[in-house]
Structure 1
C-alpha cells in the first residue's frame, strides 16, 4: 500500500508539472499569495474565481485559513448541464452557489500524501466528500485529482476535473 501511495503522489505531481501556470506558483515551495490570488493568476480558474466572487467568498478564502480547496478548472465547470452555471451565478441563487463552493473546501492543509490515506473529508459546508483511490488515480466524489499540493499562503489547492456537488 505504501508503494501505491508513492506512485499516486508521483502521478499527481507529474500532473502538476504538466500545468505550467500552476507549476510556476509551486516553484521553490513558496506560496504565491492566498488561495484566491493563486486561482486568479491562473487562466484555468476564471470560472471558479467568478463563482467565488458571486458567492461573496473572496474575503473568506483570502483569510487566514488554512484551507484545502479542491479547485475545479474552467473545463470542469463547462461539463455542467447547459444553463446551470449561468443560473448559479444569479444573485437569487447565491445560497446554492455558496453550498456548492464550500463543498470544495476542507478546513486545514491536507496535502496529497495525506489525501490518499482518507476515504472521506469533512467539507466547510458540513457534508463529507468521498475520497477514493482507483486505478492509480485519486478521486473526490468521482472527480479526478489532476494536480496537487499547489501552495498558497493560507492553504493548499488540489485541481479537479469535475465540479463536485453536495447532496
Structure 2
C-alpha cells in the first residue's frame, strides 16, 4: 500500500522539478492577464459576442465607451445568453446636456452601470418573442415594458427597436433612445 502512495508523489515531484523556471513564467503570465476576464481572450475564429459586435459598429461608439467606463465589458463578453438593447450614438446625443459626461465620471461608475444593466435581459428574446404589454426583468432587477404595434414594430419603454443583430452570446436590438430607469 505504501508503494502506491509514493508512486504518485514521485511523479508529482518529477513534474514540478522538470518545469524548472517555467512554472514561475507561467504564473507570471497568468497574473498579467488576471482581472481582464473574458474580454482579454483573443479569438478571431468564433462568432462575435455582443461587445465585439458593438465595437465593430460606428453607430455605437458611445455605448462601447460607456461599457468601458462602467467596467461592464467583461460581463457582456461572457457566455450569456443576453438580450441587449443598444442605443445608437444619436440616442445618447439626445440626452439632456451634461448627463452622459456626469455619468462617465469615476465616482458615478455604479450609476452608469445600473443604467447599462437596465438595457440587458438574461436570455435571448428574438423579435417574435416580444408580447404586447409584457414586462421583462432586466439585469439590474427592474423591468421594462414591451409594446408591439399593429404593424409589428416593437418598442421597449418607448424606445423603438430599429435593427436586430445576432451574436455568439445573445442578441442585440438596436434602439433609438437610451432607457432610463424611473
Match of 1:68 in 2: 83
Match of 2:122 in 1: 107
Unpaired segments ≥5 residues, structure 2: 1-45
Q: Per-residue deviation at 1:138?
A: 1.1
Q: Per-residue deviation at 1:115?
A: 1.7
**Aligned length, in residue pairs:** 136
Kindly indicate whether residue 45 of structure 2 is the aligned counterpart of residue 45 of structure 1. no
Kindly tell me: are residues 49 and 146 of structure 1, through their superposed partners in 2, closer, same or farther at Cα, counting changes over 3 Å?
same
Give the TM-score normalised by the residue count of structure 2.
0.72
TM-align CA RMSD: 1.3
For 1:79, which of 94, 102, 123 is the aligned residue? Answer: 94
Give the TM-score normalised by the residue count of structure 1.
0.78
Q: Per-residue deviation at 1:135?
A: 4.9
Q: Per-residue deviation at 1:116?
A: 3.9
SS at match of 1:80: coil
Unpaired segments ≥5 residues, structure 1: 1-30
Match of 1:8 in 2: none
